Structure 1
Amino acid sequence: MKKYILSLVIAVALLLILKNSARGKMAGNYIKGVVSTVSIKPDYINTSGNSISTRVLLPDGYKRVVYENGSFEEYLRNYRIKPHGSKIINYDNSEYFAQNWHDAILEVPVPSNGLQQCADALMRIRSEYLWKHNRKGEIGFNFTSGHYCSWQKYAKGYRPKIKVSHVTFHKTASPDYSKFNFYRYLNLIYTYAGTLSMYSELQKVPLNEIKIGDMLVKPGSPGHIEIIVDEAINGQGDKLYLLAQGNTPAQSVCLLKNFENASISPWYRFDKNEPVYTPSYYFDKTIFIRFK
Protein backbone atom coordinates (compact mmCIF):
# COMPACT_ATOMS: atom_id res chain seq x y z
CA MET A 1 0.00 0.00 0.00
CA LYS A 2 2.82 2.40 0.88
CA LYS A 3 4.50 1.69 -2.48
CA TYR A 4 1.20 2.39 -4.25
CA ILE A 5 0.70 5.73 -2.44
CA LEU A 6 4.32 6.76 -3.10
CA SER A 7 3.95 5.96 -6.81
CA LEU A 8 0.73 7.96 -6.96
CA VAL A 9 2.36 10.99 -5.29
CA ILE A 10 5.31 10.88 -7.71
CA ALA A 11 2.96 10.65 -10.71
CA VAL A 12 0.91 13.65 -9.56
CA ALA A 13 4.07 15.68 -8.92
CA LEU A 14 5.39 14.92 -12.39
CA LEU A 15 2.09 15.98 -13.96
CA LEU A 16 2.18 19.30 -12.10
CA ILE A 17 5.78 19.95 -13.19
CA LEU A 18 4.94 19.22 -16.81
CA LYS A 19 1.84 21.41 -16.66
CA ASN A 20 3.78 24.36 -15.29
CA SER A 21 6.70 24.09 -17.70
CA ALA A 22 5.08 22.91 -20.92
CA ARG A 23 4.27 26.28 -22.44
CA GLY A 24 7.67 27.74 -21.66
CA LYS A 25 6.27 31.18 -20.89
CA MET A 26 7.42 33.84 -18.48
CA ALA A 27 5.82 37.28 -18.60
CA GLY A 28 8.25 39.87 -19.94
CA ASN A 29 11.17 37.48 -20.36
CA TYR A 30 12.26 34.48 -22.33
CA ILE A 31 13.06 30.94 -21.29
CA LYS A 32 15.28 28.98 -23.61
CA GLY A 33 14.67 25.27 -23.89
CA VAL A 34 11.44 25.09 -21.89
CA VAL A 35 8.94 23.96 -24.45
CA SER A 36 6.39 21.22 -24.66
CA THR A 37 6.73 18.26 -26.99
CA VAL A 38 3.94 18.95 -29.43
CA SER A 39 2.76 16.56 -32.09
CA ILE A 40 2.47 18.52 -35.33
CA LYS A 41 1.16 16.95 -38.49
CA PRO A 42 3.60 17.81 -41.30
CA ASP A 43 0.75 19.01 -43.53
CA TYR A 44 2.72 21.95 -44.85
CA ILE A 45 6.16 20.38 -45.08
CA ASN A 46 7.55 19.04 -48.33
CA THR A 47 10.51 17.00 -47.17
CA SER A 48 12.16 17.09 -50.60
CA GLY A 49 12.12 20.90 -50.82
CA ASN A 50 15.58 22.49 -50.98
CA SER A 51 14.56 26.13 -50.40
CA ILE A 52 12.21 27.84 -47.97
CA SER A 53 9.50 28.29 -50.62
CA THR A 54 9.70 24.68 -51.78
CA ARG A 55 9.98 23.17 -48.27
CA VAL A 56 6.88 24.88 -46.85
CA LEU A 57 3.52 24.43 -48.54
CA LEU A 58 0.58 26.83 -48.42
CA PRO A 59 -2.61 26.38 -46.40
CA ASP A 60 -5.79 26.14 -48.47
CA GLY A 61 -6.92 29.48 -49.86
CA TYR A 62 -3.51 31.17 -49.50
CA LYS A 63 -1.00 32.26 -52.09
CA ARG A 64 2.46 33.72 -51.72
CA VAL A 65 2.74 37.51 -51.83
CA VAL A 66 4.57 38.47 -55.03
CA TYR A 67 7.83 40.43 -54.84
CA GLU A 68 10.21 41.66 -57.52
CA ASN A 69 12.88 39.32 -58.82
CA GLY A 70 16.23 40.20 -57.24
CA SER A 71 14.59 41.77 -54.18
CA PHE A 72 15.63 40.94 -50.63
CA GLU A 73 12.18 39.40 -50.15
CA GLU A 74 12.68 36.94 -53.01
CA TYR A 75 16.24 36.26 -51.84
CA LEU A 76 14.96 35.15 -48.43
CA ARG A 77 12.00 33.18 -49.78
CA ASN A 78 14.29 31.19 -52.05
CA TYR A 79 17.09 30.78 -49.52
CA ARG A 80 18.73 27.39 -49.79
CA ILE A 81 18.19 24.93 -46.95
CA LYS A 82 19.84 21.72 -45.84
CA PRO A 83 18.22 18.29 -46.41
CA HIS A 84 15.17 17.53 -44.29
CA GLY A 85 16.11 16.17 -40.89
CA SER A 86 19.32 18.20 -40.59
CA LYS A 87 20.10 19.16 -37.00
CA ILE A 88 20.81 22.46 -35.27
CA ILE A 89 24.58 22.53 -34.76
CA ASN A 90 26.41 24.85 -32.37
CA TYR A 91 29.55 26.79 -33.31
CA ASP A 92 31.70 24.14 -31.58
CA ASN A 93 30.18 21.41 -33.79
CA SER A 94 28.07 20.00 -30.94
CA GLU A 95 24.35 19.34 -31.38
CA TYR A 96 21.97 21.84 -29.82
CA PHE A 97 19.85 20.24 -27.09
CA ALA A 98 16.49 21.23 -28.69
CA GLN A 99 16.09 19.51 -32.03
CA ASN A 100 12.28 19.69 -32.15
CA TRP A 101 12.01 23.44 -32.76
CA HIS A 102 12.62 23.63 -36.49
CA ASP A 103 11.38 22.50 -39.87
CA ALA A 104 14.45 23.53 -41.87
CA ILE A 105 18.09 24.57 -41.49
CA LEU A 106 19.24 27.45 -43.67
CA GLU A 107 22.55 27.19 -45.52
CA VAL A 108 24.26 29.78 -43.33
CA PRO A 109 27.74 28.67 -42.21
CA VAL A 110 28.41 29.00 -38.47
CA PRO A 111 31.92 30.28 -37.67
CA SER A 112 33.78 28.39 -34.95
CA ASN A 113 34.58 31.63 -33.08
CA GLY A 114 31.11 31.72 -31.49
CA LEU A 115 30.41 35.34 -32.48
CA GLN A 116 27.59 34.83 -34.97
CA GLN A 117 24.58 34.86 -32.65
CA CYS A 118 20.93 35.83 -33.25
CA ALA A 119 21.26 39.42 -34.55
CA ASP A 120 24.62 38.67 -36.15
CA ALA A 121 23.23 35.88 -38.33
CA LEU A 122 20.60 38.25 -39.73
CA MET A 123 23.15 41.00 -40.38
CA ARG A 124 25.24 38.42 -42.22
CA ILE A 125 22.31 37.35 -44.41
CA ARG A 126 21.53 40.97 -45.25
CA SER A 127 25.19 41.79 -45.96
CA GLU A 128 25.66 38.76 -48.20
CA TYR A 129 22.56 39.76 -50.17
CA LEU A 130 23.97 43.26 -50.72
CA TRP A 131 27.37 41.82 -51.65
CA LYS A 132 25.84 39.38 -54.14
CA HIS A 133 23.80 42.15 -55.81
CA ASN A 134 26.78 44.51 -56.09
CA ARG A 135 25.40 46.91 -53.50
CA LYS A 136 28.48 46.80 -51.29
CA GLY A 137 28.30 50.51 -50.60
CA GLU A 138 25.13 49.89 -48.57
CA ILE A 139 26.79 47.44 -46.17
CA GLY A 140 27.15 49.05 -42.77
CA PHE A 141 25.77 48.91 -39.24
CA ASN A 142 25.78 50.96 -36.08
CA PHE A 143 27.72 49.78 -33.06
CA THR A 144 25.77 49.69 -29.80
CA SER A 145 27.50 53.00 -29.03
CA GLY A 146 25.69 54.49 -32.05
CA HIS A 147 28.80 54.88 -34.23
CA TYR A 148 28.35 53.77 -37.84
CA CYS A 149 30.83 51.27 -39.27
CA SER A 150 30.65 50.67 -43.01
CA TRP A 151 32.23 47.94 -45.09
CA GLN A 152 33.66 50.54 -47.47
CA LYS A 153 35.57 52.31 -44.71
CA TYR A 154 36.80 49.02 -43.27
CA ALA A 155 37.93 47.85 -46.73
CA LYS A 156 39.96 51.08 -47.13
CA GLY A 157 41.89 50.13 -43.99
CA TYR A 158 40.11 52.11 -41.28
CA ARG A 159 39.76 50.40 -37.91
CA PRO A 160 37.86 51.53 -34.81
CA LYS A 161 39.64 52.66 -31.68
CA ILE A 162 37.23 52.13 -28.81
CA LYS A 163 37.44 53.71 -25.37
CA VAL A 164 34.34 52.79 -23.37
CA SER A 165 31.56 54.36 -25.49
CA HIS A 166 33.83 56.68 -27.50
CA VAL A 167 34.76 55.38 -30.96
CA THR A 168 37.14 56.89 -33.52
CA PHE A 169 38.34 55.40 -36.80
CA HIS A 170 41.96 55.41 -37.93
CA LYS A 171 43.66 54.11 -41.08
CA THR A 172 45.85 51.35 -39.71
CA ALA A 173 45.59 48.66 -42.42
CA SER A 174 46.16 48.37 -46.14
CA PRO A 175 43.11 48.50 -48.43
CA ASP A 176 41.59 45.05 -48.90
CA TYR A 177 38.29 44.52 -50.73
CA SER A 178 38.43 40.72 -50.70
CA LYS A 179 35.64 38.39 -49.58
CA PHE A 180 37.95 37.11 -46.85
CA ASN A 181 38.32 40.62 -45.45
CA PHE A 182 34.56 41.10 -45.75
CA TYR A 183 34.03 38.30 -43.25
CA ARG A 184 36.63 39.81 -40.93
CA TYR A 185 34.57 42.99 -41.10
CA LEU A 186 31.45 41.03 -40.15
CA ASN A 187 33.26 39.57 -37.14
CA LEU A 188 33.90 43.14 -36.00
CA ILE A 189 30.21 43.96 -36.43
CA TYR A 190 29.21 40.84 -34.48
CA THR A 191 31.41 42.04 -31.62
CA TYR A 192 30.07 45.57 -31.29
CA ALA A 193 26.49 45.40 -32.65
CA GLY A 194 23.43 43.38 -31.69
CA THR A 195 19.69 43.46 -31.06
CA LEU A 196 19.90 46.71 -29.09
CA SER A 197 21.84 48.59 -31.76
CA MET A 198 19.61 47.24 -34.52
CA TYR A 199 16.49 48.32 -32.63
CA SER A 200 17.93 51.80 -32.10
CA GLU A 201 19.19 52.22 -35.68
CA LEU A 202 16.52 50.68 -37.88
CA GLN A 203 13.05 51.77 -38.94
CA LYS A 204 10.12 50.54 -36.83
CA VAL A 205 7.41 48.97 -38.99
CA PRO A 206 3.65 49.00 -38.15
CA LEU A 207 2.18 45.53 -37.91
CA ASN A 208 -0.14 46.10 -40.87
CA GLU A 209 2.87 46.91 -43.08
CA ILE A 210 5.26 44.07 -42.24
CA LYS A 211 6.70 41.95 -45.01
CA ILE A 212 9.45 39.46 -45.76
CA GLY A 213 12.76 40.69 -44.37
CA ASP A 214 11.23 42.51 -41.40
CA MET A 215 12.42 41.40 -37.98
CA LEU A 216 10.54 40.69 -34.78
CA VAL A 217 12.73 42.11 -32.02
CA LYS A 218 13.03 42.31 -28.26
CA PRO A 219 15.91 44.74 -27.66
CA GLY A 220 18.15 44.13 -24.70
CA SER A 221 21.21 42.43 -23.32
CA PRO A 222 20.30 39.74 -23.91
CA GLY A 223 17.47 40.38 -26.30
CA HIS A 224 16.39 38.35 -29.29
CA ILE A 225 15.47 38.85 -32.93
CA GLU A 226 13.82 36.71 -35.62
CA ILE A 227 13.25 37.43 -39.31
CA ILE A 228 10.27 36.91 -41.61
CA VAL A 229 11.38 34.71 -44.51
CA ASP A 230 8.09 34.13 -46.34
CA GLU A 231 4.62 35.64 -46.56
CA ALA A 232 1.24 34.39 -47.79
CA ILE A 233 -2.20 35.98 -48.17
CA ASN A 234 -5.76 34.74 -48.72
CA GLY A 235 -8.77 36.27 -50.46
CA GLN A 236 -9.84 38.09 -47.30
CA GLY A 237 -6.46 39.77 -46.93
CA ASP A 238 -5.39 37.65 -43.97
CA LYS A 239 -1.65 37.05 -43.93
CA LEU A 240 0.63 34.29 -42.68
CA TYR A 241 4.39 34.46 -42.14
CA LEU A 242 7.38 32.17 -41.66
CA LEU A 243 10.05 32.99 -39.06
CA ALA A 244 13.72 32.06 -38.93
CA GLN A 245 16.33 32.71 -36.26
CA GLY A 246 19.94 32.49 -35.29
CA ASN A 247 20.53 31.92 -31.61
CA THR A 248 22.81 31.99 -28.61
CA PRO A 249 25.10 30.10 -28.46
CA ALA A 250 26.03 30.74 -32.10
CA GLN A 251 24.40 27.98 -34.10
CA SER A 252 22.57 26.99 -37.28
CA VAL A 253 19.95 29.41 -38.56
CA CYS A 254 16.64 27.57 -38.52
CA LEU A 255 13.06 27.91 -39.73
CA LEU A 256 10.85 27.77 -36.64
CA LYS A 257 7.81 25.62 -35.94
CA ASN A 258 4.71 27.20 -34.43
CA PHE A 259 3.85 25.38 -31.20
CA GLU A 260 1.17 27.92 -30.26
CA ASN A 261 -0.91 27.25 -33.36
CA ALA A 262 0.10 23.79 -34.49
CA SER A 263 -2.70 23.62 -37.05
CA ILE A 264 -0.85 26.10 -39.31
CA SER A 265 2.75 25.39 -38.27
CA PRO A 266 5.28 26.54 -39.35
CA TRP A 267 3.19 29.55 -40.44
CA TYR A 268 2.48 32.36 -37.96
CA ARG A 269 -0.20 35.01 -37.54
CA PHE A 270 0.52 38.25 -35.66
CA ASP A 271 -1.97 40.36 -33.74
CA LYS A 272 -1.20 43.91 -32.60
CA ASN A 273 -2.08 43.44 -28.94
CA GLU A 274 -0.98 39.84 -28.58
CA PRO A 275 2.44 38.53 -27.53
CA VAL A 276 4.30 36.13 -29.81
CA TYR A 277 5.51 32.78 -28.57
CA THR A 278 8.14 31.01 -30.63
CA PRO A 279 9.87 27.80 -29.52
CA SER A 280 12.84 29.56 -27.91
CA TYR A 281 11.50 33.01 -27.06
CA TYR A 282 8.57 35.01 -25.72
CA PHE A 283 8.02 38.42 -27.32
CA ASP A 284 5.69 40.39 -25.07
CA LYS A 285 5.17 42.98 -27.83
CA THR A 286 5.01 42.71 -31.62
CA ILE A 287 7.81 45.13 -32.50
CA PHE A 288 9.17 44.85 -36.04
CA ILE A 289 12.14 46.62 -37.59
CA ARG A 290 13.39 46.79 -41.19
CA PHE A 291 16.85 46.89 -42.75
CA LYS A 292 17.74 50.09 -44.61
Structure 2
Amino acid sequence: MKNSLRIVLLLVLLLVLFIQFKPAKNTIKTIAATIEAPSLINKDSLTIKSRVKTPKGYKRVKYPLGSFQNYLRNYKLKPFGTKIINYDDTEYFWQGGHIGILEIPVPKNGLQQCADALIRIRSEYLWDNDRKDEIGFNFTIGHYCSWKQYAEGYRPKINGNKVSFHKTATKNFSKENFYKYLNLIYMYSGTLSLYNELPKIEDAKNLKIGDMLIKGGSPGHIVMICDEVINNKGEKLFLLFQGNTPAQSVHLVKNLENSKISPWYHLENNIEIPVSNYTFNSSKFVKFK
Protein backbone atom coordinates (compact mmCIF):
# COMPACT_ATOMS: atom_id res chain seq x y z
CA MET A 1 0.00 0.00 0.00
CA LYS A 2 2.79 2.36 0.96
CA ASN A 3 4.65 1.54 -2.25
CA SER A 4 1.56 2.28 -4.33
CA LEU A 5 1.10 5.60 -2.55
CA ARG A 6 4.73 6.49 -3.15
CA ILE A 7 4.35 5.73 -6.86
CA VAL A 8 1.23 7.88 -7.09
CA LEU A 9 2.97 10.76 -5.29
CA LEU A 10 5.99 10.41 -7.56
CA LEU A 11 3.79 10.54 -10.68
CA VAL A 12 2.01 13.62 -9.36
CA LEU A 13 5.35 15.28 -8.66
CA LEU A 14 6.60 14.47 -12.17
CA LEU A 15 3.38 15.84 -13.66
CA VAL A 16 3.79 19.09 -11.72
CA LEU A 17 7.38 19.42 -12.85
CA PHE A 18 6.39 18.75 -16.46
CA ILE A 19 3.68 21.40 -16.35
CA GLN A 20 6.11 23.89 -14.83
CA PHE A 21 8.92 23.01 -17.26
CA LYS A 22 6.87 23.15 -20.45
CA PRO A 23 5.88 26.84 -20.27
CA ALA A 24 9.39 27.67 -19.10
CA LYS A 25 10.75 25.94 -22.19
CA ASN A 26 8.29 27.81 -24.41
CA THR A 27 9.22 31.06 -22.71
CA ILE A 28 12.89 30.44 -23.47
CA LYS A 29 12.01 29.80 -27.11
CA THR A 30 9.94 32.98 -27.25
CA ILE A 31 12.73 35.06 -25.74
CA ALA A 32 15.27 33.55 -28.13
CA ALA A 33 13.03 34.30 -31.10
CA THR A 34 12.76 37.95 -30.16
CA ILE A 35 16.50 38.51 -29.88
CA GLU A 36 17.50 40.44 -32.97
CA ALA A 37 20.73 40.10 -34.86
CA PRO A 38 23.38 42.70 -34.01
CA SER A 39 22.32 46.04 -35.45
CA LEU A 40 23.89 47.07 -38.74
CA ILE A 41 22.74 50.67 -38.26
CA ASN A 42 24.93 53.62 -37.25
CA LYS A 43 22.27 55.99 -35.96
CA ASP A 44 24.64 58.97 -35.73
CA SER A 45 25.73 58.85 -39.38
CA LEU A 46 24.42 61.07 -42.17
CA THR A 47 25.24 59.23 -45.43
CA ILE A 48 24.00 55.93 -46.80
CA LYS A 49 27.46 54.37 -46.63
CA SER A 50 28.13 55.45 -43.05
CA ARG A 51 24.56 54.76 -41.83
CA VAL A 52 24.69 51.04 -42.68
CA LYS A 53 27.47 48.63 -41.69
CA THR A 54 28.54 45.67 -43.82
CA PRO A 55 27.30 42.25 -42.62
CA LYS A 56 29.91 39.86 -41.25
CA GLY A 57 31.92 38.27 -44.04
CA TYR A 58 31.05 40.95 -46.61
CA LYS A 59 32.89 43.98 -47.96
CA ARG A 60 31.72 46.89 -50.08
CA VAL A 61 32.22 46.65 -53.83
CA LYS A 62 34.55 49.44 -54.94
CA TYR A 63 33.55 52.07 -57.51
CA PRO A 64 35.55 55.03 -58.83
CA LEU A 65 35.16 58.57 -57.54
CA GLY A 66 32.75 60.55 -59.67
CA SER A 67 30.75 57.49 -60.70
CA PHE A 68 26.98 57.34 -60.29
CA GLN A 69 27.52 54.38 -57.96
CA ASN A 70 29.79 56.35 -55.65
CA TYR A 71 27.39 59.31 -55.81
CA LEU A 72 24.49 57.16 -54.57
CA ARG A 73 26.47 55.35 -51.89
CA ASN A 74 27.49 58.66 -50.33
CA TYR A 75 24.10 60.34 -50.62
CA LYS A 76 23.27 62.51 -47.61
CA LEU A 77 20.64 61.46 -45.09
CA LYS A 78 18.59 63.37 -42.57
CA PRO A 79 19.11 62.53 -38.85
CA PHE A 80 18.08 59.04 -37.79
CA GLY A 81 14.44 58.86 -36.77
CA THR A 82 13.27 61.51 -39.24
CA LYS A 83 9.75 60.67 -40.39
CA ILE A 84 8.44 60.17 -43.92
CA ILE A 85 6.50 63.30 -44.90
CA ASN A 86 3.98 63.53 -47.72
CA TYR A 87 4.05 66.39 -50.25
CA ASP A 88 1.30 68.20 -48.29
CA ASP A 89 3.41 68.18 -45.08
CA THR A 90 1.35 65.41 -43.45
CA GLU A 91 3.07 62.37 -41.98
CA TYR A 92 2.88 59.16 -44.00
CA PHE A 93 0.55 56.70 -42.26
CA TRP A 94 3.27 54.05 -41.74
CA GLN A 95 6.70 54.83 -40.38
CA GLY A 96 7.91 51.28 -39.75
CA GLY A 97 9.67 50.46 -43.01
CA HIS A 98 12.66 52.81 -43.25
CA ILE A 99 16.00 53.50 -41.60
CA GLY A 100 16.86 56.79 -43.28
CA ILE A 101 15.44 59.77 -45.19
CA LEU A 102 17.43 61.12 -48.14
CA GLU A 103 18.14 64.84 -48.37
CA ILE A 104 15.76 65.42 -51.28
CA PRO A 105 13.04 68.08 -51.10
CA VAL A 106 9.49 66.92 -51.78
CA PRO A 107 7.74 69.37 -54.14
CA LYS A 108 4.36 70.62 -52.92
CA ASN A 109 2.76 69.86 -56.30
CA GLY A 110 2.57 66.14 -55.52
CA LEU A 111 4.23 65.10 -58.79
CA GLN A 112 7.47 63.56 -57.49
CA GLN A 113 6.29 59.99 -56.95
CA CYS A 114 8.23 56.69 -57.02
CA ALA A 115 9.66 56.75 -60.57
CA ASP A 116 9.95 60.54 -60.53
CA ALA A 117 12.17 60.52 -57.43
CA LEU A 118 14.67 58.24 -59.17
CA ILE A 119 14.48 60.31 -62.36
CA ARG A 120 15.34 63.36 -60.27
CA ILE A 121 18.29 61.69 -58.57
CA ARG A 122 19.72 60.52 -61.89
CA SER A 123 19.17 63.93 -63.50
CA GLU A 124 20.77 65.83 -60.63
CA TYR A 125 23.81 63.58 -60.84
CA LEU A 126 24.17 64.32 -64.56
CA TRP A 127 23.65 68.04 -63.91
CA ASP A 128 26.23 68.16 -61.11
CA ASN A 129 28.78 66.29 -63.24
CA ASP A 130 28.45 68.53 -66.31
CA ARG A 131 26.65 65.86 -68.33
CA LYS A 132 23.51 67.91 -68.89
CA ASP A 133 23.17 66.87 -72.54
CA GLU A 134 22.49 63.30 -71.36
CA ILE A 135 19.38 64.33 -69.42
CA GLY A 136 16.29 63.08 -71.22
CA PHE A 137 13.44 60.61 -70.79
CA ASN A 138 10.63 59.05 -72.77
CA PHE A 139 7.02 59.92 -72.13
CA THR A 140 4.78 56.94 -71.39
CA ILE A 141 3.39 57.25 -74.93
CA GLY A 142 6.94 56.82 -76.24
CA HIS A 143 8.22 60.26 -77.27
CA TYR A 144 11.66 61.39 -76.07
CA CYS A 145 11.96 64.73 -74.28
CA SER A 146 15.44 66.04 -73.45
CA TRP A 147 16.52 68.78 -71.10
CA LYS A 148 18.52 70.39 -73.91
CA GLN A 149 15.41 70.57 -76.10
CA TYR A 150 13.35 72.04 -73.25
CA ALA A 151 16.07 74.58 -72.37
CA GLU A 152 16.14 75.71 -76.02
CA GLY A 153 12.47 76.67 -75.63
CA TYR A 154 10.69 73.68 -77.19
CA ARG A 155 7.49 72.50 -75.50
CA PRO A 156 5.39 69.41 -76.24
CA LYS A 157 1.92 69.60 -77.72
CA ILE A 158 0.11 66.42 -76.82
CA ASN A 159 -2.94 65.20 -78.71
CA GLY A 160 -3.93 61.72 -77.62
CA ASN A 161 -0.97 59.48 -78.42
CA LYS A 162 0.63 62.05 -80.69
CA VAL A 163 3.30 64.50 -79.50
CA SER A 164 4.86 67.36 -81.41
CA PHE A 165 7.40 69.88 -80.12
CA HIS A 166 7.17 73.60 -80.84
CA LYS A 167 9.43 76.49 -79.90
CA THR A 168 7.16 78.55 -77.68
CA ALA A 169 9.58 79.78 -74.99
CA THR A 170 12.86 81.64 -74.84
CA LYS A 171 16.13 79.84 -74.16
CA ASN A 172 16.68 79.25 -70.47
CA PHE A 173 19.41 76.94 -69.17
CA SER A 174 18.97 77.88 -65.49
CA LYS A 175 18.64 75.46 -62.58
CA GLU A 176 15.19 76.86 -61.88
CA ASN A 177 14.08 75.98 -65.43
CA PHE A 178 15.68 72.55 -65.04
CA TYR A 179 13.25 71.75 -62.24
CA LYS A 180 10.35 72.96 -64.39
CA TYR A 181 11.55 70.48 -67.00
CA LEU A 182 11.55 67.71 -64.40
CA ASN A 183 7.97 68.56 -63.44
CA LEU A 184 7.02 68.03 -67.09
CA ILE A 185 8.76 64.64 -67.07
CA TYR A 186 6.99 63.68 -63.84
CA MET A 187 3.65 64.38 -65.50
CA TYR A 188 4.20 62.28 -68.62
CA SER A 189 6.67 59.58 -67.54
CA GLY A 190 6.57 56.83 -64.92
CA THR A 191 7.33 53.20 -64.14
CA LEU A 192 5.83 52.01 -67.43
CA SER A 193 7.89 54.38 -69.57
CA LEU A 194 11.07 53.52 -67.67
CA TYR A 195 10.42 49.80 -68.02
CA ASN A 196 9.89 50.15 -71.77
CA GLU A 197 12.75 52.60 -72.30
CA LEU A 198 15.62 51.36 -70.15
CA PRO A 199 17.95 48.41 -70.80
CA LYS A 200 16.90 45.21 -69.00
CA ILE A 201 19.22 43.28 -66.72
CA GLU A 202 18.70 39.61 -67.52
CA ASP A 203 20.92 38.15 -64.79
CA ALA A 204 20.68 39.47 -61.23
CA LYS A 205 24.32 38.43 -60.70
CA ASN A 206 25.21 41.49 -62.80
CA LEU A 207 23.33 43.98 -60.61
CA LYS A 208 25.20 47.00 -59.31
CA ILE A 209 24.53 50.27 -57.56
CA GLY A 210 22.17 52.48 -59.56
CA ASP A 211 20.21 49.59 -61.05
CA MET A 212 16.50 49.36 -60.31
CA LEU A 213 13.94 46.76 -59.33
CA ILE A 214 10.79 47.64 -61.28
CA LYS A 215 7.16 46.78 -61.87
CA GLY A 216 6.02 48.79 -64.85
CA GLY A 217 2.36 49.75 -64.84
CA SER A 218 -0.41 51.94 -63.50
CA PRO A 219 0.09 51.54 -60.68
CA GLY A 220 3.60 50.16 -60.75
CA HIS A 221 6.56 50.64 -58.46
CA ILE A 222 10.33 51.04 -58.61
CA VAL A 223 13.22 51.06 -56.14
CA MET A 224 16.91 51.80 -56.68
CA ILE A 225 20.01 49.97 -55.47
CA CYS A 226 22.17 52.41 -53.51
CA ASP A 227 24.89 50.21 -51.99
CA GLU A 228 26.45 46.82 -52.64
CA VAL A 229 28.53 44.30 -50.67
CA ILE A 230 30.08 40.97 -51.63
CA ASN A 231 31.55 37.98 -49.76
CA ASN A 232 34.36 35.61 -50.73
CA LYS A 233 31.85 33.29 -52.45
CA GLY A 234 30.81 36.07 -54.80
CA GLU A 235 27.40 36.44 -53.12
CA LYS A 236 26.04 39.98 -53.08
CA LEU A 237 23.69 41.98 -50.87
CA PHE A 238 22.16 45.36 -51.69
CA LEU A 239 20.60 48.42 -50.06
CA LEU A 240 17.47 49.95 -51.59
CA PHE A 241 15.72 53.30 -51.47
CA GLN A 242 12.40 54.44 -52.85
CA GLY A 243 10.00 57.27 -53.41
CA ASN A 244 6.31 56.51 -53.18
CA THR A 245 2.73 57.45 -53.97
CA PRO A 246 1.57 59.87 -52.68
CA ALA A 247 4.72 61.90 -53.33
CA GLN A 248 6.77 61.77 -50.15
CA SER A 249 10.24 61.68 -48.62
CA VAL A 250 12.65 59.39 -50.46
CA HIS A 251 13.72 56.78 -47.93
CA LEU A 252 16.18 53.94 -47.34
CA VAL A 253 14.12 50.82 -46.65
CA LYS A 254 14.39 48.04 -44.10
CA ASN A 255 14.34 44.37 -45.02
CA LEU A 256 11.22 43.30 -43.13
CA GLU A 257 11.60 39.66 -44.20
CA ASN A 258 15.11 39.03 -42.88
CA SER A 259 16.12 40.83 -39.70
CA LYS A 260 19.51 39.07 -39.68
CA ILE A 261 20.76 41.09 -42.66
CA SER A 262 18.34 44.05 -42.63
CA PRO A 263 18.47 46.58 -44.22
CA TRP A 264 20.46 44.57 -46.80
CA TYR A 265 18.62 42.54 -49.46
CA HIS A 266 19.44 39.44 -51.47
CA LEU A 267 18.08 40.00 -55.00
CA GLU A 268 17.27 37.45 -57.70
CA ASN A 269 15.38 37.45 -60.99
CA ASN A 270 11.75 36.40 -61.12
CA ILE A 271 11.20 35.89 -57.40
CA GLU A 272 8.86 37.60 -54.95
CA ILE A 273 10.66 40.45 -53.19
CA PRO A 274 8.80 42.36 -50.44
CA VAL A 275 10.15 45.91 -50.14
CA SER A 276 8.74 47.99 -47.30
CA ASN A 277 5.03 48.46 -48.13
CA TYR A 278 5.14 46.88 -51.63
CA THR A 279 5.79 43.37 -52.94
CA PHE A 280 7.39 42.76 -56.33
CA ASN A 281 5.73 39.49 -57.35
CA SER A 282 8.11 38.74 -60.21
CA SER A 283 11.26 40.78 -59.91
CA LYS A 284 12.60 42.53 -63.01
CA PHE A 285 15.59 44.85 -63.21
CA VAL A 286 16.55 47.81 -65.41
CA LYS A 287 19.42 50.30 -65.53
CA PHE A 288 19.98 53.83 -66.79
CA LYS A 289 21.81 54.12 -70.09
1:41 offset after TM fit, Å?
A: 5.3
The unaligned stretches of length 5 or more in structure 2 are 1-33
Residues 40 and 103 of structure 1: CA distance in aligned 2, closer, same or farther (over 3 Å): farther
> Hey, what does 1:276 align to over in structure 2?
273
Contact 2:83-2:101 at 8 Å conserved across structures: yes
Deviations 1:234-285 (A, max 9, x none): 1111100001000000000000000111110000001334210112111111
- In 1, the alpha carbon distance for the partners of 2:144 and 2:98 equals 34
* Other-structure match for 1:233: 230
TM-score (norm 2): 0.87
| Aligned residues of 1:258 and 1:265 also touching (Cα < 8 A) | yes
1:1-292 aligned at under 5 Å gives the runs 43-206=39-202, 207-292=204-289
Aligned partner of residue 194 in structure 2, secondary structure: helix
**Closer/same/farther in 2, CA of residues 62 and 185 from structure 1, 3 Å limit:** same
How many pairs does the alignment contain? 255
Distance 1:124 1:73 in 2: 15
**TM-score normalized by the length of structure 1:** 0.86
| Alignment deviations for residues 70-94 of structure 1 (CA, whole Å, 9 cap, x no partner) | 0000000000000001000000000
Measure the CA separation in 2 of the matches of 1:120 and 1:54: 26
Over the residues paired in the alignment, what is the CA RMSD in angstroms? 1.2
4+ residue runs of structure 1 moved beyond 2 angstroms? Answer: 38-42, 271-274
Equivalent AA in structure 1 for residue 78 of structure 2: K
CA deviation digits over 1:88-131, x for unaligned, max 9? 00000000011111000000110000000000000000000000
Name the CA distance, whole Å, in 1 between partners of 2:150 and 2:111. Answer: 19
Alpha carbons of structure 1 residues 216 and 39: separation in structure 2 relative to 1, 3 Å: farther
- SS for the counterpart of 2:238 is strand
Contact map agreement 2:41 2:52 (CA 8 A) in 1: yes
Distance in 1 (alpha carbons) for counterparts of 2:267 and 2:249: 25
Contact 2:60 2:228 survives alignment (8 Å) = yes
SS in structure 2 at match of 1:244: strand
Cα distance in 1 for partners of 2:199, 2:111 equals 25
Q: Which has the larger radius of gyration?
A: 2
CA distance 1:141–1:40, change in 2 (3 Å): farther
Please report how far the alpha carbon of residue 208 of structure 1 lies from its aligned counterpart in structure 2 after TM superposition. 1.4
- C-alpha separation in 2, matches of 1:214 and 1:138: 17
The letter of the residue matching 2:113 is Q
Q: Distance in 1 between matches of 2:260 and 2:72?
A: 24
2:270–2:284 CA contact under 8 A, matched in 1: no
How far apart are residue 286 of structure 1 and its match?
Answer: 1.8
| 1:79–1:234 CA distance, 2 compared to 1 (3 A) | same
Contact 1:258–1:264, Cα closer than 8 Å, also in 2: yes
